[in-house]
Each structure stands twice: as C-alpha cells, then as structure tokens.
Amino acid sequence: MTRSLPPLRERVDPPARLDPPPAELGLHWRGMELADMPALHDLFHRIEEHDQTPYRTALEETQERYVAEWHSEPQNVLGGFDPDGTLVAFGAVALSPTDTRTLRVHIEGGVDPDHRTRGIGSAVLDWELGRARQLLAESDRDVPARLVVHVEDDMPDSVHMLTSRGFRASRYYTELRRDLSVPLPEVTLKRPLDLVPWSGELDEQVRLAHNVAFAEHWVSEPQTQETWTQGRTYFVPEWSFIVLDRTTDRAQVVGYLLSSRYEQDWPSLGWSEGYIDLLGVRPDWRGRGIATALVARALQAYAESGMQYASLGVDTQRPGVVFGLYSKLKFEPTRGSTMYTIDL
C-alpha cells in the first residue's frame, strides 16, 4: 500500500508574508493585469532582440498566456516599473489547473537588458519562489509537487541563479527541423486505417485519444475540454491530420497530428516552417506506421504551402540522444533548452 505524503502546507514552507523586491532596486512593483499586456509584449521584444532568441512573442500570445496560463490573477504576475513608468522586469507563477498526479508551478520572468546585473533578476526569482510555495500550500493536497523553470541554451547566468537555489536539470528539450526540399517519403497505411484531414467534428475524439496516448508520459496530465482548446491562436487545420480505425461503422481516432504556423518567428529563424505541435498514437495501435504516415502527410502539406522546413520539439531525459522516428525522416537538431526543477 502506497503511503500518502503529508499535505503540501506542511511540506512547502510558504512565507506568511511575501514582500515585493526591495525598494533599493529603484523600481515600483505591482501586480499586472490584462491592460498591462502591451507593455509586457514590448518588454518581451526587447529581451528577445537582445538575447537573439529564435522566436518572437506576438501580442496575441502575450495576452493568451496571461489569460490561459497565468489565469488572470494579478497577485501571480509581478511587474517592476522604472520611475518613468516603463515596465523593465516581470515575474509570473502559475499552478497547472488540471494536474492530478504531480502539482506543477511554472515559473518565468525576465529583465530588460539595460537593467541587468543590478540584482533585479535574483530578487524577482526569490519573490516567485515564495509565491509558488504559497500557491502549493493553498492547494493543500497530499500529492508530489514540482517547481518548474525552462531555460534556453547558452544562458549561464540564469542557470547559476537557479542551481544556487536548489534547482536541478531534469529534462532536455530539442528543436528539430526537416528541409522540405529533400524528397518526401511515401507512406501508405493498410486498411482499416484511414488518414483524413482534421475536422472540428472529430476534435473531441482527438482529445480523448490524446489523453489515452499520453497517459503514461512522465509529465502529461489529462486535458479537459477547456484546456484542450486553449493556445490555438496559430493552429492550422489544413496542416493537421487524423488516422481513423474504420473496422466498424463508428470510426475511432487512433492517431493525430496538430500543426501551427508561427509566422512571427520566421524572421529571427531565417526560414519559414510548419510546426508540429502534437503527435500521438493510441498505445494499442503503435508499431503500424501511423506516426510516420501522419508526419509524412504533414510534411507534404507544409511543402504544398510553400514552407521551407518542418519543425517540432522533443524532450528527453538526457542530452544528445538519437531522435528515433524523426532522425529516420531526416529531421536535424537546431537548438535546445533545459527544464530545471525542485521537487517538493
């Protein structure tokens, strides 16, 4: 019999009072609201341009993140404003609302390049860690909990801040791309399997198939109807596909691939691309070429739309591993990031 853990309020040591970063940093701190998102978008732009990240955050993404990921709670999104009223730093924490097996608090933040090396980033991180522990204590569950931060490669200062506070590298993420000028593979599925375009009528079946396909994934939590449709600002239906089992009159979704078009990233990347956001196959249907067929069909759709590359992200327990299906389909790594965690 598995012993339950003590309630989180007994494990996470939340601060009874959480003050903003110190006044000597010269900034005014307050919770951020939806009306602040244009200012946050401008801050994202300055940070991304300076750090030469291979992506650019659009205003729509910033607003969607605040509503869908940060849950519109100003006490969880802190902004630091200079004397002129310009936003120069932010920190955000969010407790994943659908987690059941392990509660995760996602932490992110940033500082304007002109205000770095003043201790602002460290002060924001300490505030975030305090607020994250408060959020977990409020949930008062007896399940494992985890603080999560993602760091792009080649950011040693961020890594030092995290590891000095007890974070450890726990997962590695790699972006892959595939040149669409290289001849595409021809893949044919055998009956009763049928590869069809994505449709809204089948999307609920796709959600249920996804929950089954990722039930044993190390970090996956079940998708609700609400969370499943969030984050689809750049979803491209005509680049997305489903595999059906037509053994009976009522076709069953056994595999799916959902794509997006992140056009705002193309100038910084230096190429156009179709992006594979989700790919899954029900466990009892694996080993029949379904994933290969879905990827091959998506590559064809991207090429027909004039894209130069196909891209996607994968995660592994250690860096430098072989990427299986994607290596066979001539995908190559381009960049990476690391997930740092504290388990509670």
Q: Tens of pLDDT along 166-216?
A: 999 999 999 999 999 999 988 889 999 999 999 999 999 999 999 999 877
CATH code of the domain made up of 8-166: 3.40.630.30
Strands 87-95, 273-281: parallel, antiparallel or unpaired by DSSP? unpaired
Asked if 107 and 149 touch (Cβ cutoff 8 Å), the reply is: yes
Arithmetic mean of pLDDT, 4-8: 80
Q: Which fold has domain 176-336?
A: Aminopeptidase (3.40.630)
Q: Which of 5-14, 80-89, 123-132, 234-243 has the lowest mean pLDDT?
A: 5-14
Identity of the residue numbered 167 = F
Give the pLDDT band (50/70/90) at residue 124: very high
pLDDT confidence tier of residue 217, bands split at 50, 70 and 90: low
The DSSP line for 291-304 is HHHHHHHHHHHHHH
- Separation between Cα atoms, residue 93 and residue 342, nearest integer Å: 14
User: Average of pLDDT values for 93-103?
Assistant: 83
The string of pLDDT tens digits covering residues 256-296 is 999 999 999 999 899 999 999 999 999 999 999 999 999 99
Task: Report helix, strand or coil for 176.
Answer: strand
> With contact defined as beta carbons under 8 Å apart, do 83 and 25 qualify?
no
Six-digit token pair at 249?
């009159």
- Is the bond preceding 192 in cis, omega lying within 30 degrees of 0? yes
With contact defined as beta carbons under 8 Å apart, do 242 and 253 qualify? Answer: yes
In the chain, residues under CATH classification 3.40.630.30 are: 8-166, 176-336
Is beta strand 273-281 parallel, antiparallel or unpaired with respect to 252-260? antiparallel
139, containing H or E segment: helix 120-139
Q: How confident is the model at residue 219 (pLDDT cuts 50, 70, 90)?
A: low
pLDDT over 50 (residue 2): no
Q: Which of 30, 19, 67, 65 is nearest to 44 (CA)?
A: 65
Q: What pLDDT does 226 receive?
A: 82
pTM equals 0.85
Q: What is the pLDDT of residue 220?
A: 62
pLDDT at 322: 66
pLDDT in the model for residue 72: 67
Q: How far apart are CA 106 and CA 190, in angstroms?
A: 42
Name the strand (E) or helix (H) holding 130: helix 120-139
Give the whole-number percent of the chain exceeding pLDDT 90: 69
Residues in the chain: 344
Cβ atoms < 10 Å from Cβ of 80: 28
Mean residue pLDDT across the chain: 91
Enter the tokens of residue 138. Answer: 């409020």
- Least confident piece of the model among 48-52, 208-212, 224-228: 224-228
pLDDT at 341 over 60: yes
Across the range 103-126, mean pLDDT stands at 95
- Least trusted range by pLDDT, from 213-227, 253-267, 326-340: 213-227
If you compute the radius of gyration of the chain from its CA atoms, what whole number of angstroms results? 22
Question: What's the confidence (pLDDT) of residue 1?
Answer: 38
Q: How many helices and strands, by DSSP H and E, does the chain display? A: 10, 12
| pLDDT band at residue 139 using 50, 70 and 90 as cut-offs | confident
